[in-house]
């Protein structure tokens, strides 16, 4: 991750920025970080209390977005930190439905 981006994120988090603020589609910072494979930022947001079960406008969570992105490291981080792999979006899919080739043995 770009060092300037990480510094900015730390600055925002340490100054009580709203970690659950969402864009017009309902995506939170954690969802954006997960969908882009920003492992360190995902960890930082989770460490500071970001809601892993928050859903965007289509009912997708950060775990759904990490699965769509295909980033196994972010997917594993979210699972290890307690993300619910059984959440179903408005199309009836879980995160695993989006990436059937991601296999996480500790589910």
Q: What percent of the chain has pLDDT over 70?
A: 72
HSE-CB at 47 with a 13 A cutoff on CA atoms is 10
pLDDT tens for 38-85 read: 998 899 899 888 999 999 999 999 999 999 988 899 999 999 999 999
Query: If you classify domain 3-98 with CATH, what class do you get?
Result: mainly alpha
CB burial of residue 14 (10 Å; 0-12, 13-18, 19+): exposed
Place of tokens 């997917």: 75
- Alpha carbon of residue 60 to chain centroid: 10
CB burial of residue 51 (10 Å; 0-12, 13-18, 19+): middle
Domain positions in the chain are 3-98
């Amino acid at each position: 991750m770009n060092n300037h981006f990480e510094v900015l994120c730390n600055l925002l988090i340490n100054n009580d920025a709203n970690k659950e603020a969402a864009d017009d589609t309902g995506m939170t910072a954690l969802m954006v970080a997960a969908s882009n494979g920003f492992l360190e930022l995902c960890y930082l947001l989770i460490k500071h209390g970001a809601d892993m079960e928050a859903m965007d406008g289509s009912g997708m969570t950060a775990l759904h977005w990490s699965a769509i992105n295909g980033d196994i490291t972010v997917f594993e981080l979210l699972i290890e930190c307690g993300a619910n792999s059984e959440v179903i979006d408005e199309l009836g899919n879980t995160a695993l439905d989006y990436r059937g080739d991601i296999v996480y043995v500790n589910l």
